[in-house]
Amino acid sequence: MSVAEAVDWAAAELPTSLANRIDTDGDCWLWTAGTNAGGYAQARHHGKVRRVHIVVYELLVGDVPEGLELDHACANKRCVRPHPEHVNACTHQENTRRHYARAATCKRGHPWTEANTYRRPSTGRRECRGCNREKQAGRRS
Ligand SMILES: [Zn+2]
Ligand SMILES: [Zn+2]
């Protein structure tokens, strides 16, 4: 079963040690505990330090098929939700392609540079400063 075909999974099916640390209120399942240096959700699972989105995927969906890797379609590294729009398995090539496509610009064409990117601390979602500025300017006029 591919993630694309699958309907949805409930975080309730996860061991409480994991479920207790995941905030499923929003669209993304946000890992509320530690992350690794790259910003990915990380936890000790069966004595090993693992990336949580991979552990959750394995528990709810199954092993990541050989040759595929997990991609965050929602671009939220703290998200651990197995879902086509969140964590899903794709080829390394596709992952890299998506990564660059996402890395280039926001939907209004502002570059996703470090200086132009704001990450909302409560959700970990990135926002475009250029768009935020335009929204504010629109409100004032
Ligand atoms: Zn997500
Ligand atoms: Zn923008």
Instruction: Please write the tens of the pLDDT for every residue from 20-71.
Output: 999 998 999 999 999 999 999 999 999 999 999 999 999 999 999 899 999 9
Ligand with the closest atom to the CA of 31: 1
Ligand with the closest atom to the CA of 125: 1
Cα 28 to middle of ligand 1, angstroms: 4
Cα 74 to middle of ligand 1, angstroms: 5
Predicted model pTM: 0.68
d(CA 141, CA 90): 45
Helix residue ranges, H only, 7-120: 16-19, 52-60, 92-104
Q: What stretch of H or E contains 37? A: none
The ranges assigned to domains in the chain are 1-104, 106-141
For tokens 């004595």, name the residue: 47
